[in-house]
Structure 1
Amino acid sequence: MGREVSAGEGSVRDRPGEVDDSRERLFRLGASALTDPELLGVLLGGGARMRALAETLLAMQGGLKALVQQEPRELSARPGMGAARTAQMLAALEWGRRAQRVRERRPRLRTPREIFTYLAPHLSALRREVFHVLCFNARNVLLLDARVAEGTINACMVDPREVFAAAITSRATAIVLAHNHPSGDPEPSGQDLSLTAQLIEAGRVLGIKVLDHVVIGDGSYSSLVERGELPRVGGEKASWGMAGEHG
């Protein structure tokens, strides 16, 4: 008797004559020339059948971002995926995110745009809200990037003690608050604004300045400083890099 082939990963194979030229186009034109289904198909193993599987997955989930935000166990249960292909895909996506990260161990970040560029690879594709505290010295050099809270898809409880523990541990003179909105819309909520005001007041007592609160969305961000919505303490005007050129 012939060996049985179980359903799942081994059941999706190219038939004779089914050819996908995505790999050839990748080598000829570069990976950036491929569409999302073509790239995913190559990642899953190449061939016309993998391209078809990729197109089905993207169509069912509503695009690449929605696909990568799905729980791994749910994704692995999709016909044709299985644990190995799911792990391979998610590992490759994480590899890509890490490759985008700032290579400097202690980068100097002086604007909200630079904060967004630094954080987007970490936060933009997450399925739940997380809250980061970026701790700086007087020259805007990043001393510590601490994730101090993790929440749900639309909420994240933040303990001020955790925020300032990170700042004190790193001997920071200033911090930037940052969190993501998994919905992709970086518009700050009322809770975001009230939390920011609370943390600014706590920082005033401790002598640690809150420079900004940056909300990370899908390819975009909101900065409370740029919006003119960062609460002021004692009438002081909020600005970036106030010590950066003189510290």
Structure 2
Amino acid sequence: MRTVGEAASAGEGSVRARPPGLDEVRERLFQLGASALTDPELLSVLLGPGTRTHHLAEQLVSGLGGLKALIHMDPLQLCTRPWLGPVRTAQVLAALELGRRAQRATERRPRLRTPKEIHLYLSPTLNALRREVFHVLCFNPRNVLLGNVRVAEGTMNTCPVDPREVYAAALSLRATALVFAHNHPSGDPEPSAQDVRLTAQLAEAGQLLGIKVLDHLVLGDGTYVSLLERGLLPGTEGRNAWSAVGGPG
């Protein structure tokens, strides 16, 4: 048996190596599941033992505006924050990306039949990006997704799209129908006049190739706008559903 002083001395290093409450947080995680923990608690578990871990986790969540803001931060900028550095930055960003990927559809070639299903399929990939990207979703006549191809990447406010890249992807997959999608990093999914003009140009090109353009979705912060549902897709005024077999209607 050790004296009180000996026990304190023997355990002093391990007690000081972790912030107060970290063991309790881990215990709650195992007993109640990760969903029972707050965002800072989850981050503190991820960052591991350290005298400033809990404070750092609180700062990352509240000081930066939440996990969504954290995803949008430049990695090099994040590295410069006190007590973070490149190793912990990599841990945090890798964990956030794993969470995004876990939300994606598990089917390799899912059937997507509505704008809402397209949004649910794409939002884990597009919502957290800091730049605009343009995707072409290629379908067969049974609404089975043959491929989801990123054909352009731009800046915060614009994304130049080459129609040749769009239809090269469609032709290589022998697609009979397409849905276009791009994100607005600002969070506002309202389509611009340029978005509408580009859609009309691409739909016209598709007619020459015998490939239907079913819709164009603009994704914002947890929301989307379907040009089909807005009546802004050429030749589909008044319609709000589509099929890769019969076209919009």
Written as runs of structure 1 = structure 2, the 5 A alignment for 1:1-247 is: 18-20=20-22, 21-45=24-48, 49-232=52-235, 239-241=241-243, 243=245
Instruction: Give 2:21's aligned amino acid.
Output: V
TM-score by length of 2: 0.86
**Whose radius of gyration is greater, 1 or 2?**
2
Question: In the superposition, relative to structure 1, how do residues 14 and 124 fare at CA in structure 2: closer, same or farther (>3 Å)?
Answer: farther
Per-residue CA deviations over 1:153-201 (Å, capped at 9, x if unaligned) read: 1211111111111001100000000011111221111211111111111
More contact order relative to length (CA 8 Å, sep ≥ 6)? 1
Inter-partner Cα distance in structure 2 for 1:172 and 1:236: 26
Count of residue pairs brought into register by the alignment: 232
Per-residue CA deviations over 1:182-228 (Å, capped at 9, x if unaligned) read: 11221111211111111111111111111000111221111111222
Asked if 2 retains the 8 angstrom alpha-carbon contact of 1:230 and 1:238, the reply is no
State the secondary structure of the residue aligned to 1:215: strand
Instruction: Give 2:38's aligned amino acid.
Output: T
Percent identity, please: 66
Per-residue CA deviations over 1:95-132 (Å, capped at 9, x if unaligned) read: 11111111111111101111111111111111111100
Instruction: Give 2:220's aligned amino acid.
Output: G
Q: Compute the RMSD of aligned alpha carbons.
A: 2.3
State the secondary structure of the residue aligned to 1:155: coil
State the secondary structure of the residue aligned to 2:225: strand
State the secondary structure of the residue aligned to 2:194: helix
Asked if 2 retains the 8 angstrom alpha-carbon contact of 1:133 and 1:176, the reply is yes
Residue 3 of structure 2: aligned partner: none
Residue 8 of structure 1: aligned partner: none
Inter-partner Cα distance in structure 2 for 1:244 and 1:97: 34
Inter-partner Cα distance in structure 2 for 1:238 and 1:173: 20
Residue 9 of structure 2: aligned partner: none
Structure 1: stretches of 5+ with no match in the other structure:
1-12
Per-residue CA deviations over 1:32-63 (Å, capped at 9, x if unaligned) read: 12222122222111567322111112233222
1:242 is displaced (CA, Å) by: 5.2
Inter-partner Cα distance in structure 2 for 1:117 and 1:237: 21
Inter-partner Cα distance in structure 1 for 2:218 and 2:137: 13
Asked if 1 retains the 8 angstrom alpha-carbon contact of 2:134 and 2:152, the reply is yes
State the secondary structure of the residue aligned to 2:216: strand
Asked if 1 retains the 8 angstrom alpha-carbon contact of 2:214 and 2:244, the reply is no
Question: In the superposition, relative to structure 1, how do residues 143 and 244 fare at CA in structure 2: closer, same or farther (>3 Å)?
Answer: farther
Residue 4 of structure 1: aligned partner: none
Residue 5 of structure 2: aligned partner: none
State the secondary structure of the residue aligned to 1:127: coil
1:244 is displaced (CA, Å) by: 7.1
Structure 2: stretches of 5+ with no match in the other structure:
1-14
State the secondary structure of the residue aligned to 2:203: helix
Dislocated runs of 4+, deviation >2 Å: 13-22, 46-49, 235-239
Inter-partner Cα distance in structure 2 for 1:16 and 1:45: 8
State the secondary structure of the residue aligned to 2:52: helix
Instruction: Give 2:243's aligned amino acid.
Output: G
Inter-partner Cα distance in structure 2 for 1:77 and 1:180: 28
